[in-house]
Amino acid sequence: LFVRMNGANIFSFTIKRVPALIKDTLVAAEICPEQVDYFIFHQSNKYIILHLLKKCGLPEDKVPFTIGEFGSTGGPSVTLTITKGKLVRPPNRSLTMLLVAWVESSQ
C-alpha cells in the first residue's frame, strides 16, 4: 500500500467545495451562522481552516483548534476537538455545533 498526499490538491478541493457544503448544511438545518455556537472542523491543517473561515465569513472565536496540541489525528480530530477544545456551554440550553470533515481523493 502506497499512500501519498498532494497538499495543493487538498487545499484546492477544500477551499472550492467545503464552503458550499457548510452553506447547504446551514440552509437544510434552517439556521444561520450566528446561531451556531461552534464550528468544529477536521483538524487537518490550521492554515486551510483559517482560509475556510475567511472564505465563509465565520469568526475564528467560534472555531476551536486542537491541532497545535495533538497534531493531525485524522478521522478522530472532530470528536477530539469536541472533548478537548474547551467548549463553553451556554446556560439553559444545549450547544449548537456544526461538525465539518472531508476527504479529498485524487486519482
Q: Give the domain ranges of the chain.
A: 7-100
Element of type H or E holding 77? helix 77-84
CA distances (Å), origin 62, targets 72, 86, 99: 20, 11, 12
User: Predicted confidence band at 39 (pLDDT cuts at 50, 70, 90)?
Assistant: very high
pLDDT at position 104 is 61
Tell me how far CA of residue 100 lies from CA of 3, 60, 80, 92, 104, in angstroms.
23, 15, 13, 25, 13
Q: Which CATH number fits domain 7-100: 3.40.50.720, 3.40.47.10, 3.50.80.10, 1.10.3720.10?
A: 3.40.47.10
CA torsion angle for 58, 11, 30, 83 (degrees, to 10)? -70
% of the chain surpassing 90 pLDDT: 68
Q: pLDDT digits over 51-93, tens only? A: 999 999 999 999 999 999 998 888 889 999 999 999 999 899 9
